[in-house]
Amino acid sequence: MIEPRAPKWRRRLSLLLAAVALPAVGVGVLTASPAAAAPTDIRLNEVVTTGSVNDSIELYNKGTATIDLSGWILKDDNDSNKYKIASGTSLAPGGFKAFDVHGSFGLGSADSARLYLADGTTLVDSFSWSSHSNPSWSRCADGTGDWTQAATLTLGAANNCGSGGGGSTTPVAWPGGSTVATADAANVFGTDLSGLYQEGGVMWGAQNSGKLWRLVPNGSGGWTPDTANGWGSGKALRFPGGTGTPDDEGVTLTGAGSAGGVYVSSERNADASSTSRLSVLRYDVSGTGSTLTATREWNLTPDLPATGANLGLEGITWVPDSYLTGAGFKDAATGAAYDPSRYAAHTGGVFFVGVEGSGTVYGYVLLEAGGFTKVATLSSGMAGVMELQWEPQANRLWVVCDDTCSGQHRTFQVNTAGSFAVTAVHNRPAGMPNINNEGFTLAGADECVGGSKPVYWSDDSNTGGHALRKGSINC
């Protein structure tokens, strides 16, 4: 029999509550057809609201062609306030151009900057905030990254994103819509639904009671259990050899997709619940049986600091070697640039796992033969880690906390020193209650419509009878 999980308050006695600040940021993006793609290369890149130079907005051309900005319009949050860019103004590829708009309108402590085509109605990009620049609201990296409070004003030049390329740890608003809706029927999953991973038209869900779900679209924007091949009630998970019940918390796939196996992170064997067993397990999900026995276990317990049996591995995600080598990732095991050829067969990437009790994230090369090497250790800066997700569209690592940290989300990228560093700290969407979200996943680039794509959360507590919720994020 599986021992019931301890209540959340008892599981978290060792955790500190994270403080939350309130600045707000939002970005809107024009989605253009291929024939009209050039305007989307012009991005708001820096905003200055106060100081020695105030009421200024910088644009950046992230594309490969010069773009004519004649007649384009800048606005604040009031549609009546307009600054028209002079005729003959253009912006070369990689170029920066700042506009002093104070003669047309002022930028307040809680305001917006919006860029429109010359027709005055087609929105190209926007940015909103709820505190003055200090001294600069800047995008890191230029034109493509998250907005942050940069330490230096750099109008007309590349943004100063800090040593090593890290961003601010000042929380800002969710970078997408504020609306959140339920995405499942009532009381389908019950409590303990944790990790999520969307694979196109399938969503994988890990439930702490040793169960894996295969979900399919329900026809109304949400998800429902797949009724084919024995998945209707989820499938029970077992350790290699068919014994024990993994307390599985996270789920991920490699570049091979589910055909290459589904990987889960587990913090203990629920049949011996007082003992940590910090493992990554791989499952073949191609069969029709009701039980899945792991084809491989990587037991990381001897290599990690001791933690409470119910405060172990929560999140897991896989980052491809191609990103790591291209970004200059430094291998902590060798002290040199990460070189995949140093390792035997290893799935073509690095698995990152998050520890609930310490808020630490570790990167591991997991060898097909069963060995492993730790190649990274990073602090999330939060009281606990509940979920990890790699977003290939934006090349960023999401590190997610639940109600322990008021639903905070942090993004990380490899910096100039070769280490993963925080690029932004986001508060939960305004429409999301402070609930026990232990799972988070993002739709792929193919679902980007109107500059936005879906994201989903799983609530371990099944609040209001619903375990899945849906929101949106800017593409």
- The structure tokens listed for 291 are 């039980």
What SS3 state is found at 405?
A: helix
Output b/e per residue, 2-17; b: 16+ Cβ within 10 A. Answer: eeebeeeeebbeebee
Give this prediction's pTM.
0.70
Comparing CA positions, the residue from 409, 462, 390 lying closest to residue 183 is 462
Is there a contact between 341 and 276 (Cβ–Cβ < 8 Å)? no
Written as one letter, the residue type at 465 is G
Angle value at C-alpha 432, between 197 and 183, nearest 5 degrees? 45
What are 71-111's pLDDT values in tens digits?
Answer: 999 999 999 999 999 999 999 888 889 999 999 999 998 89
- The answer on pLDDT for 433 being more than 50 is yes
- The answer on pLDDT for 11 being more than 80 is no
Greatest pairwise CA separation for the chain in angstroms: 75
What are 107-166's pLDDT values in tens digits?
Answer: 998 899 999 999 999 999 999 988 787 788 889 888 888 888 776 678 887 787 654 445
- The answer on pLDDT for 174 being more than 60 is yes
Give mean pLDDT, residues 167-183: 90
Comparing CA positions, the residue from 404, 21, 455 lying closest to residue 198 is 455
47-61, 184-198, 217-231, 386-400: least confident range: 47-61
- The answer on pLDDT for 6 being more than 80 is no
Give the DSSP letter of residue 358.
T
As a whole number of angstroms, the distance between CA 71 and CA 85 comes to: 5
* E strand segments, 76-160: 82-84, 90-91, 96-100, 111-116, 123-129, 136-140, 146-150
pLDDT at 151: 64
Give mean pLDDT, residues 417-423: 91
Written as one letter, the residue type at 5 is R
pLDDT band at 4 (very low <50, low <70, confident <90, very high): very low
Give mean pLDDT, residues 332-356: 97
What are 12-54's pLDDT values in tens digits?
Answer: 434 433 333 333 333 333 433 333 347 889 999 999 988 657 7
pLDDT band at 10 (very low <50, low <70, confident <90, very high): very low
**What are the helix (H) ranges across 112-222?**
none
Is there a contact between 319 and 350 (Cβ–Cβ < 8 Å)? yes
Calculate what percentage of the chain has a pLDDT beyond 70. 90
